[in-house]
Structure 1
Amino acid sequence: MIHRTGRVFGMTITPKQRAALTDAVRGGTESLFRRAATAAFLWALVFTAFHFYWFAGGRFGLGDGPKMIPETGTTKDLIWAFVITSMFVVGIFLPVALTRPWGRRIPRWITVCCLWIGSALLVVRGGAGLLDTALRETGLADRGLTGLTYQQITGDAHPSLNTKVSGICIDAYFILGGLLYGRTVLLHRRLVRGADEG
């Protein structure tokens, strides 16, 4: 750890050594930050592409239950799909906004707050889905967290292993996205603090 007193891990260093060490730490953090932001961007791109595919009627990744495709039959369903998909599209650009010059037009606190909120929502959504499945599969709660039966969710009272595994993978993918968004924000904060101290 670099301290203002000129000591690193208890050893005295010269100002020149301190500057070199600070630059090295900042460079390493910046590299980690850029990789995390890129990973979050790619995650969101795949996430959004799959949702467009599913809204268009695609089935891959949803299992084989009859009610697995998101419904868009009513105006309410279409509005909901539009709002959710718009959030996904915004989510693609948020991590990149912290790394690109055009992103400076957006106040940093807005970008960071949106990423924190997105991170929390994704982790909670994925975690709740995994817990819901675990409760059903262990027999602790036949209706899981939601109070709905498998019949109500998937259209099949006894969904196939394919459908169950697809649901678990989707829930895990939500968690992965939340962790990637969270890591991006944490590394951004470390980078900003390092610049303030430098």
Structure 2
Amino acid sequence: MSLAFKNFCQYYDRVRKYTPMLAFHFSSMLSFMKGVNPIIINKNGHTKSKKWLFFTGYAAFAWSILFGSIHIYWAAGGAIGFEGRSMSEVLFIINLAAIVLSLLAAFIVLALVQEWGEKIPTWILLMSTWITFAVLGLRGGVGIAQSILQEDSTPLLSIIIEPYFLLGGILFGLSAFLYYYANTKEKTGENK
């Protein structure tokens, strides 16, 4: 170990005794230099992964509510986005199914970030969230690919809706990953 590094460590120990905030930053830097990435806990006791889980979970919840609201508007007879076409009976049933599924998705993703969600088995939450991720991601990805490959002009609704599906898939996928990661760390004791 070099003399400069020893001096730095001694300085670091003195700083850590007198200024906890600076010590926190130095410890993060030293841990990184040693190849160890510390789990940083904020004032509420949440790790960074839990913080990101809350953010992505609530963002996915908001996505689901907005998605359901759009379909409620269309099922109630709203015409914006239909470009002069009327809603058929089949499309009406699809809208009703989309409303139910979006409310179910909102409930499930909210269960990932709320305490009452701990009563639901983890495998049910993860399986349904991963399935939602796959369906929305594929729907959005395929829709974007179709829009790009289409020779005709793409309708404005497709330009908005396809990336919105993809965004929902990304939010649900991140929520599922972070939920799994945070719970795995918690069970193995690495989160403390």
Question: Normalised by the size of structure 2, how large is the TM-score?
Answer: 0.71
Distance 1:170 1:195 in 2: 37
What pairs with 1:1-198 in structure 2 (closer than 5 Å)? 8-9=31-32, 11=34, 21-22=38-39, 24=41, 27-60=47-80, 62=81, 65-67=83-85, 70-72=87-89, 79-137=93-151, 164-198=155-189
| Number of positions where the alignment pairs a residue of Structure 1 with one of Structure 2 | 157
SS in 2 for 1:58: coil
Question: In the alignment, residue 84 of structure 2 is paired with which amino acid?
Answer: P
Distance 1:132 1:10 in 2: 47
- The superposition leaves residues 125-154 of structure 1 with CA deviations (integer Å, 9 ceiling, x where unpaired) of 1111122222223x7xxxxxxxxxxxxxxx
Question: In the alignment, residue 86 of structure 1 is paired with which amino acid?
Answer: V
Q: What is the root-mean-square deviation in Å for CA atoms of aligned residues?
A: 2.8
- The superposition leaves residues 74-125 of structure 1 with CA deviations (integer Å, 9 ceiling, x where unpaired) of xx65554433321111011111101112222321111111111111111111
Higher relative CO (Cα under 8 Å, sequence separation at least 6) belongs to: 1
SS in 1 for 2:113: coil
Question: Normalised by the size of structure 1, how large is the TM-score?
Answer: 0.69
Question: In the alignment, residue 85 of structure 1 is paired with which amino acid?
Answer: I
How much identity, in percent, do the aligned residues show? Answer: 27
Distance 1:86 1:133 in 2: 27
SS in 2 for 1:33: helix
Distance 1:167 1:11 in 2: 50
Consecutive unaligned residues in structure 1, runs of 5 or more: 1-6, 140-158
Consecutive unaligned residues in structure 2, runs of 5 or more: 1-29
The structure that is helix-richer by fraction is: 2
